[in-house]
Every structure is written in C-alpha cells, then in structure tokens.
Chain A
C-alpha cells in the first residue's frame, strides 16, 4: 500500500514569487508519481508525471517537479506564479499497472494544497 503526505494544506504567495508545494510518499513497491491541479468545481488536470529516467520533470504551465528517491519526495515548483495558478494541487502515486497486485495500482492522492496567488 502507498500513502502520500502533502505537508502544507494552504500556501499563500504573491504574484511573480516562486513557490514550492511539498509532497512525500511511502510505498513498498516502485511507483509512478503525479501532480494534478483542480480549479474550483472542475475535475483534475495532469500537471506532470514521473515514470522513470531524469528526476527533474517539466510539466505544463511552467511547473516542474523533482523526484528524490532517498527522501521519498516529489516537490512541485514554479519560479514565478500568476494569479491564474490559484487552485488546489494534488500529489498522487500509484504502482505501474500489471506490475503488482492488490491495491498498489490504484491512484493514491494526498490531501491537497490550496495555492492562493495574491496580487
């Protein structure tokens, strides 16, 4: 089984400031890692994912994340945020489908971090 911890429930920042949203995970098997964004009353949109290879992953809207296996972290960063980045951000993990049985293949979400960008 896996678990995901998003250390900050809310992160307020000013426009054009850098931001880091923290995510730590635990798993007994190798996992894929994801960041999703949810705007109010909408579904989830994939920002980026780590499957394998380079530990620095670039996503949409200028976001990037770095996978750190030793620290079991997958923090999301953006060097300069915009008002439009205000949303809920979810970190998620799952095992590769077909690689392991049971519940490991299911997406496990963190509790979310509300990013509020102020003018």
Chain B
C-alpha cells in the first residue's frame, strides 16, 4: 500500500510551452501533497505544499505564477510549469502525506524528468 504515482515520467518540451505533471496517491487519501525539485547531484528542495481545496503554500523564492499547483481532490495534485524555459529543466518529485493512526508519513512519487529545449 501507500503508492504515489507521477505522470509523465519524462517530458521534453520546447521553450515557451507549458507542461502539466500529475501526482496521484493510488491507495490512500492525501489532504497534503508536496512538490520538490531536484537538480543533478543535489538534494531535494521543497517548492510548495499543496492542501486539498485550498491554495498552495510556496517556499521563498518559488514563483507562484510560474509553478501553478492545483490540489483538486484527495488523490490528485498537479504542477503546471508555465512558459517553460531551459533553466526549468529538472527532476520534479511529489510526495503525499498519509495519516496512519497517530503517525503521518510521507510517500514519494517516482519523479518526472523535465527537459526544456
């Protein structure tokens, strides 16, 4: 149990286009999901926290209008990279929080590799 999927796993797009990445919790409901960005050979940096039915909370330095997050249901959050540029190329990983008895645990998706040409 506790599986998180991401789609697509890999996407290549032209500069100026928008790309949508989906994050789904397959066998549990997630009121909170997180979006991370990882540059090559670096750690994960939290971009935003997404709560179902409300606006996402963005980390300092992350452009809200650039990275649109929608958490429309308890099993789906989407990240849209608008007007993508080569510097947006990165590995994007989502994570979903599952409440299990008294402990809340985060489960990570497999990631989406975005390449902007």
Contact partner of A43 (CB less than 8 A), chosen from B43, B93, B105, is: B93
Interface residue A87 (Cβ < 8 Å from any Cβ of B): no
Identify which of A36, A42, A44, A51 gathers the most chain B CB atoms within 10 Å of its CB. A44
Interface residues on A, range: 10 to 19
Question: Can you name the residue of chain B whose Cβ is closest to the Cβ of A10?
Answer: B41
User: Which of chain B's residues have a CB closer than 8 A to the CB of A46?
Assistant: 105, 107
List 12 other contacts, CB 8 Å, given A46-B105, A90-B44, A107-B34: A42-B110, A43-B4, A43-B6, A43-B93, A43-B110, A44-B44, A44-B93, A46-B107, A51-B103, A97-B97, A97-B104, A106-B49
B residues near A (Cβ < 8 Å) are: 4, 6, 34, 41-44, 46, 49, 91, 93, 95, 97, 103-111, 113
6 A–B contacts, CB within 8 A, in A order: A43-B108, A43-B109, A44-B93, A46-B107, A106-B34, A114-B41
